[in-house]
Structure 1
Amino acid sequence: MKLNITRQFLVAVIGIFLLAVVLTAGKLFFQPNVIKFHIPNHLYNQDTIFSCRDYLEKIGAIVTFDEKAQEITIQTGLDSYYLEIKTDSVQGIPIYVDNVYIGKTPVKKRLSAGKYVVVAKNSGHVSSIRYLTLKPEIASVKQIILPVDQKNYEGFLDEIILFGYKPIRVMDYYNHAPITKKTIVLRHDVDVSAEDALAMAKIEHLRGVKSTYYFRWCTADPEVLKEVRALGHEVGLHYETLADYSLQYHLKSAQDITSDVKQELRRRLKTEIVHFRQQYGEIYTIASHGAKENIRLGVTNYQAIMAGENPYDYNIIGTAYGPITQHFTYMSDSGGIWEPFPYPKLESNAGPFYILIHPIHWASGLSR
């Protein structure tokens, strides 16, 4: 009880201090003003800071924090919008605005006009993202509801089967499988754990679902690949040839990827495919991996190597990117965040779909 009283006292003291700063700034709420100041270390915590922020935002200020510098910035006199953020199925979900944590739902945040990325990120579940543009014609108070997927992978599969969709492998598309509005190309990038992929493959097999699993060299466990293939799934190479080359030769930018470099990358990828096939069995398609080096360079492995290439020159029938994506509505759980959130589109029969799912983002709900 004593701790609670002390905490409330600190909140009140800081609130009064901030209000005093605001009021002494002179006409602060009638013309644009910015105040920035440091908060002592022993007072800087989420309980005190968030309480003060909520108080100031209620009276029209825009408050931002720099946690590293332990600084608070207060802006007033701007057109602003009071954003109320909730989640659909359950509250208490952490919310981030432009990668800054603002609290758990339901949460309110005052923002100025502009563009924002709002993310509901629930550990252990696949969450969602919203690209938000606040314009002068928008009401000063705006409410958004972000969906959060509480289902485990079994629940997700049962949902798409209930909707009447038929998942196929990437290789099935290139082998001219019939495509209807009820078709889903179901793909998995195995970035971290082969065991998670195997657990997911078994769940699909029990439901008569076949999909494609792309393994990196570092996740390609021969016994797992053998078992995944035996369950009827496609196995392919998740190649990162450009990223590996960049780390080896210290490429500085996309301009370093010359035509000669591209030719070398293509030669290397052809060799990789041969070696992968020798070690792990037949493969028919490949998928580009998005490594940190690709993000730094601003160029994907596909763009640097396979764009415009004939897959048959690599002794494969196709790739997971390129022309195939033009024929489907693409959805992905990259980063553990659905983009876009799939269920409204699935329910509205807006297929066919191409869905990329990473086993690592569903690991907490996979039965082994």
Structure 2
Amino acid sequence: MPSSVATPKLKALLQSGWQRFYSDFLLPDRTPEFRRLLEQALARGYRIHSIASIWEQIKAGRLEEGPLLVLRLDIDTDLRTTRALWQVMRELNVRGSFYFRLCTLDVELMRAIHEAGSEASYHYEELATYAKRHRLKSRAEVEARMPAIRALFAANYRRIKALTGLPLHTVASHGDWLNRRLGVTNLELLQDRSLREALGIELEAYDDALHSHYAQRYSDGAYPRLWLDGDPLAALASRQSVIEILLHPRHWSANIAVNLQDNLGRAWEEVRYRVG
């Protein structure tokens, strides 16, 4: 259809499709930008923490004087870029938290991250996984199955802990397309305090016990919105007291093969969910 007669809705759809294509298959390597971000933080006097290391200070009631930067990486798909970002962190001698999904679990890498002084733990999504598997269509159906969902989480968590030998004292919820559709987050399965205590989970990365200490939290995004919550470089320049920066390696380099596989997998998931 000629652009002169295309509807605004179609134009928006085409633009969105192009932006997704660019982000997944054409995005230049942004690793040097990540290095500059960390170098500026260090130059401004920031001490860079993992979630585990700052949580230890909060628990002890001795949060050090700012400015502090909490660095978190959610490993949704791309282990190649994860390794590149971690290499930058090692070269600059900074630490952070890396949360791995079941589909990105890399025991050797997780152990190496832990041994180098950073944190490697679990990026969980059992609520969405269970809802897809059993074709749950509403929040009410999810809530009715919550005991089974929590049992699935506990089994996966214990298996990862046994495989890696890591403490996994903090975990972080993954956001899935089905969570958004159902209006229920994976985080809700850890509202059961007894489950946390039984497994030895001290903190969920979205807990207010952590976030109440932040002046601001920044998250990266897909092209063209590379930052969703403002510019963290501006925050560093103004020396905001305690900030968290959340990164997803997928947004820092176009890993064509991995992104293609992930996109096809998501499309197939949705087809199976719809026809179930």
Shorter-chain TM-score range: 0.7 to 0.9
Superposed CA offset, 1:53-95 (max 9, x none): xxxxxxxxxx963438xxxxxxxxxxxxxxxxxxxxxxxxxxx
2:80 paired with 1:195? yes
2:197 paired with 1:312? yes
**CA–CA distance in 2 between the matches of 1:265 and 1:297?**
15
The equivalent residue for 2:27 is: 124
Which of 11, 15, 27 aligns to 1:101? It is 15
**CA–CA distance in 1 between the matches of 2:191 and 2:157?**
17
Query: Aligned to 1:152, what secondary structure does the other structure show?
Result: helix
* Superposed counterparts of 1:269-348, under 5 Å: 269-282=153-166, 283-302=168-187, 304-307=188-191, 309=193, 311-323=196-208, 324-328=210-214, 329-336=216-223, 337-340=226-229, 341-348=231-238
2:154 paired with 1:154? no
Query: Aligned to 1:278, what secondary structure does the other structure show?
Result: helix
**CA–CA distance in 2 between the matches of 1:256 and 1:334?**
31
In structure 2, relative to structure 1, the CA distance for the partners of 1:154 and 1:99 (3 Å cut) is farther
Instruction: Read off the aligned partner of 1:124 and give its amino acid letter.
Output: L
The equivalent residue for 2:251 is: 361
In structure 2, relative to structure 1, the CA distance for the partners of 1:64 and 1:163 (3 Å cut) is farther
Matched-pair contact (CA < 8 Å) for 1:179–1:352 = no
* Large movers: runs of 4+ above 6 Å: none
The equivalent residue for 1:185 is: 70
The equivalent residue for 1:252 is: 137
Instruction: Read off the aligned partner of 1:358 and give its amino acid letter.
Output: H
Superposed CA offset, 1:169-193 (max 9, x none): 1111221262433111110000012
Matched-pair contact (CA < 8 Å) for 2:48–2:68 = yes
Q: CA deviation at 1:205?
A: 1.3
- Larger relative strand fraction: 1
In structure 2, relative to structure 1, the CA distance for the partners of 1:99 and 1:151 (3 Å cut) is farther
Instruction: Read off the aligned partner of 2:110 and give its amino acid letter.
Output: L
Work out which structure has the larger RCO, using CA pairs closer than 8 Å and 6 or more positions apart in sequence. 2
Matched-pair contact (CA < 8 Å) for 1:184–1:355 = yes
Q: Number of paired residues?
A: 237
Which of 150, 155, 158 aligns to 1:266? It is 150
**CA–CA distance in 2 between the matches of 1:312 and 1:237?**
16
Instruction: Read off the aligned partner of 1:338 and give its amino acid letter.
Output: W
2:118 paired with 1:233? yes
Unaligned runs of 5+ in 2: 17-21, 256-276
Q: CA deviation at 1:224?
A: 1.9
Which of 39, 46, 49 aligns to 1:165? It is 46
**CA–CA distance in 2 between the matches of 1:243 and 1:334?**
21
* Superposed counterparts of 1:208-223, under 5 Å: 208-223=93-108
Matched-pair contact (CA < 8 Å) for 1:185–1:353 = yes
Instruction: Read off the aligned partner of 2:244 and give its amino acid letter.
Output: Y
TM-score by length of 1: 0.58
The equivalent residue for 2:259 is: none
Q: CA deviation at 1:272?
A: 1.4
Superposed CA offset, 1:162-220 (max 9, x none): 12111111111221262433111110000012232122112101111010000011111
TM-score by length of 2: 0.76
Matched-pair contact (CA < 8 Å) for 1:286–1:318 = yes
Q: CA deviation at 1:305?
A: 0.7
Q: CA deviation at 1:242?
A: 0.3
The alignment yields a C-alpha RMSD, in angstroms, of 2.8
Q: CA deviation at 1:274?
A: 0.5
In structure 2, relative to structure 1, the CA distance for the partners of 1:333 and 1:174 (3 Å cut) is same
Q: CA deviation at 1:125?
A: 6.4
Matched-pair contact (CA < 8 Å) for 2:31–2:252 = no
In structure 2, relative to structure 1, the CA distance for the partners of 1:335 and 1:312 (3 Å cut) is farther
- Which has more radius of gyration? 1
The equivalent residue for 1:67 is: 10
Matched-pair contact (CA < 8 Å) for 1:194–1:220 = no
